[in-house]
């Protein structure tokens, strides 16, 4: 959703946007009527706004802050835009002319920027579906008439605005060339200085210069602005923006306009969303508009039994604190998993509408907001089940407390994967499915660790293996030296840090000595959990490379 001044208005917009479809058009019309009545200098109670939009007399449990008229009008305009995006809001729903920005500008013989300026001054805009199937910013004839009645002088001044003559355009180009040659100025600086001397708008000067550069590329004043940015440069701009570099600084550094920098940032945000994995467990309820309110509602309250579960006495304080988090009831589990998967379904549906050539910041922001809710729901489930991992890990410990932490780390990863794969609609408890997933992982990893620790390391195993392989070599079988050679070939394709962690942890060096994750973390200078993450990622890469080799061998 778009940005609101008041949190209460943002919540009201969210509730109305997921309400009954047949009522949403009425909410939009009521919001416009209220926006036209609001006096900027007055304050309005939240209950009054709810009543004017829905006809419902709201009585909140707590006193809501009063809403300033000017800010309220802006929030009502934002609410109208969000509501228009929430359903098939077609221009055919009204028996009056409906304009988009281009046609309205032509109707008044003004520039599109003027229409956008009118919107900031109170002209009510909507998001509607036009006959060609595209959703665009729209204006009802009645909305335009109401704005004209409130701002007659503004419309008169805008419609009588004198366009630049050919002589004025040549003068602007002459001044811009002189400034660009004698000082290291960007387009914004040049436009601002010329606007101050000619009493013209900055955007008018900028538009004139850009048109000249497009029409005469061989005489372009700012030739770099016509060159498209490569992907590497866009990534640099985006990461600089994320690290706090302002848009003005980036525009000057890359000799671009502020709007072009914003377009690059929004495009990279959209590309990141498109690259994410958002696999959900689909349910038929997701396509039922009437079920959305229940799906996104609050978590059902837990039944308080009054009984507290004490953690085992031998657990360290960090693990003992996990037992303070209450377990989820079956109803809470069902609600959280349904909400978690529905939000992923909704985010995936919205990101399919992204057009990288025309990225809308509001659309990207809405998807990012949903991703935040997805993370919150997943964390809620994981925190409530962490003690399950501890309980299972304690039964598989074979080498003291240090090994317990490694098993818990392994089990946490299995728990996260189980959250991704669990189908709540089957009616089973998540703890049953998660326990099976964690124990299945331990069944693979624990015997492997026991075998590694049980070997007597003399330094001669590799020599004995090689001799035995040479004595009984069978070209149809793969010997230990061949396996080692294959592993070394794959290890060579990993990064130095990934290679060091795998060799050190699994004893793949010449001495066959292995190190714990904590020892590797101290040696490399990062956290133990980060070492484990790198190890998992490296193993995944190795498997992918080996699978590709196997596919090639099968085809040959």
Q: Of the candidates 237, 227, 274, 267, which has an alpha carbon nearest to the alpha carbon of residue 356?
A: 267
Q: Which long-range contacts (CB under 8 A, 24 or more apart) does 456-461 make?
A: 457/511, 457/512, 457/513, 459/511, 459/512, 461/512
Work out whether the CA dihedral 65, 66, 68, 73 comes out positive or negative.
positive
Angle at 335 between CA 331 and CA 340, to 5 degrees: 150
Q: What percent of the chain has pLDDT over 70?
A: 83
| The predicted structure's pLDDT at residue 446 | 58
Give the residue with greater pLDDT, 404 vs 338.
Answer: 338
DSSP letter, residue 98: E
pLDDT in tens, 142-156: 999 999 998 888 787
Q: What is the CATH number of domain 284-454?
A: 1.20.120.1810
Q: Are residues 115 and 104 in contact, defined by beta-carbon separation less than 8 angstroms?
A: yes
Q: Is the pLDDT of residue 463 over 50?
A: no
Give the residue with greater pLDDT, 452 vs 177.
Answer: 177
| The predicted structure's pLDDT at residue 226 | 63
Highest averaged pLDDT of the listed ranges 179-193, 352-366, 463-477 = 352-366
Distances in Å between the alpha carbon of 275 and those of 165, 351, 352?
48, 10, 11
Q: Considering the entire predicted model, what is its pTM?
A: 0.52
Q: Using CB atoms within 10 A of its CB, is residue 341 exposed (0-12), middle (13-18) or buried (19+)? A: buried
Q: Are residues 362 and 284 in contact, defined by beta-carbon separation less than 8 angstroms?
A: no
Q: Using CB atoms within 10 A of its CB, is residue 395 exposed (0-12), middle (13-18) or buried (19+)? A: exposed
Q: Which long-range contacts (CB under 8 A, 24 or more apart) does 179-183 make?
A: 180/221, 180/222
Q: What are phi and psi of 237, to 5 degrees?
A: -60, -45
Distance of alpha carbon 178 from alpha carbon 180, whole angstroms: 6
Of 1.10.3470.10, 3.40.50.10860, 3.40.50.2300, 1.10.10.10, the CATH number of 461-555 is 1.10.10.10
pLDDT in tens, 214-251: 888 888 888 766 667 888 889 899 888 888 888 888 88
| The predicted structure's pLDDT at residue 224 | 67
Q: Are residues 354 and 274 in contact, defined by beta-carbon separation less than 8 angstroms?
A: yes
Distance of alpha carbon 189 from alpha carbon 383, whole angstroms: 53
So where are the chain's domains?
Answer: 7-159, 166-275, 284-454, 461-555
Distance of alpha carbon 412 from alpha carbon 441, whole angstroms: 11
């Amino acid at each position: 959703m778009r940005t609101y001044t008041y949190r209460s208005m943002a919540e009201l917009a969210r509730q109305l946007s997921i309400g009954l479809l047949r009522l949403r058009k009425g909410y939009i019309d009521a919001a416009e009527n209220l926006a036209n009545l609001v006096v900027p200098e007055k304050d309005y109670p939240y209950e009054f706004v709810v009543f004017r939009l829905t006809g419902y007399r709201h009585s909140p449990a707590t006193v809501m802050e009063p809403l300033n008229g000017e800010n309220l009008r802006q929030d009502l305009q934002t609410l109208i835009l969000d509501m228009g995006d929430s359903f098939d809001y077609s221009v055919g729903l009204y028996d009056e002319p409906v304009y988009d920005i281009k046609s309205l500008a032509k109707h008044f013989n003004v520039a599109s920027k003027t229409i956008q300026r009118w919107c900031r001054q109170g002209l009510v805009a909507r998001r509607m579906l036009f006959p060609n199937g595209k959703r665009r910013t729209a204006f009802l004839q009645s909305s335009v008439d109401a704005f004209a009645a409130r701002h007659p002088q503004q419309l008169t001044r805008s419609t009588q605005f004198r366009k630049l003559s050919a002589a004025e355009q040549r003068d602007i180009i002459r001044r811009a060339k002189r400034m660009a040659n004698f000082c290291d100025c960007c387009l914004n600086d040049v436009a601002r200085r010329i606007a101050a001397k000619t009493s013209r708008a900055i955007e008018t000067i900028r538009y004139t210069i850009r048109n000249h550069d497009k029409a005469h590329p061989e005489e372009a004043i700012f030739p770099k602005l016509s060159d498209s940015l490569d992907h590497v440069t866009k990534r640099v701009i985006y990461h600089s923006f994320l690290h706090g570099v302002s848009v003005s600084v980036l525009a000057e550094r890359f000799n671009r306009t502020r709007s072009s920098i914003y377009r690059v940032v929004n495009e990279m945000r959209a590309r990141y969303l498109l690259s994410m994995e958002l696999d959900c467990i689909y349910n038929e309820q997701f396509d039922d508009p009437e079920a959305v309110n229940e799906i996104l509602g609050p978590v059902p309250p837990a039944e308080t039994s009054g009984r507290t579960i004490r953690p085992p006495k031998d657990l360290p304080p960090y693990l003992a604190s996990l037992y303070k988090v209450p377990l989820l009831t079956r109803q809470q589990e069902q609600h959280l998993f349904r909400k978690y998967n529905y939000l992923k379904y909704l985010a995936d549906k919205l990101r399919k509408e992204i057009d990288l050539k025309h990225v809308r910041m509001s659309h990207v922001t809405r998807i990012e907001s949903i991703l935040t809710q997805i993370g919150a729901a997943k964390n809620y489930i994981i925190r409530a089940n962490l003690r399950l991992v501890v309980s299972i890990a304690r039964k598989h410990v074979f080498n003291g407390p240090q090994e317990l932490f490694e098993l818990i780390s392994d089990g946490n990863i299995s728990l996260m994967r189980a959250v991704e794969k669990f189908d709540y609609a089957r009616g089973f408890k998540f703890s049953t499915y998660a326990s099976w997933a964690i124990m299945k992982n331990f069944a693979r990893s624990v015997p492997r660790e026991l075998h590694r620790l049980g070997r007597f390391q003399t330094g001669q195993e590799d020599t004995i293996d090689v001799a035995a392989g040479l004595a009984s070599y069978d070209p149809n079988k793969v010997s230990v030296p061949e396996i080692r050679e294959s592993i070394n070939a794959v290890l060579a394709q990993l990064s130095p840090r990934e290679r060091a962690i795998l060799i050190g942890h699994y004893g793949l060096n010449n001495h066959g000595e292995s190190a714990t994750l904590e020892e590797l973390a101290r040696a490399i200078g990062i956290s133990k959990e980060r070492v484990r993450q790198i190890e998992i990622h490296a193993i995944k890469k190795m498997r992918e490379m080996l699978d590709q080799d196997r596919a090639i061998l099968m085809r040959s």
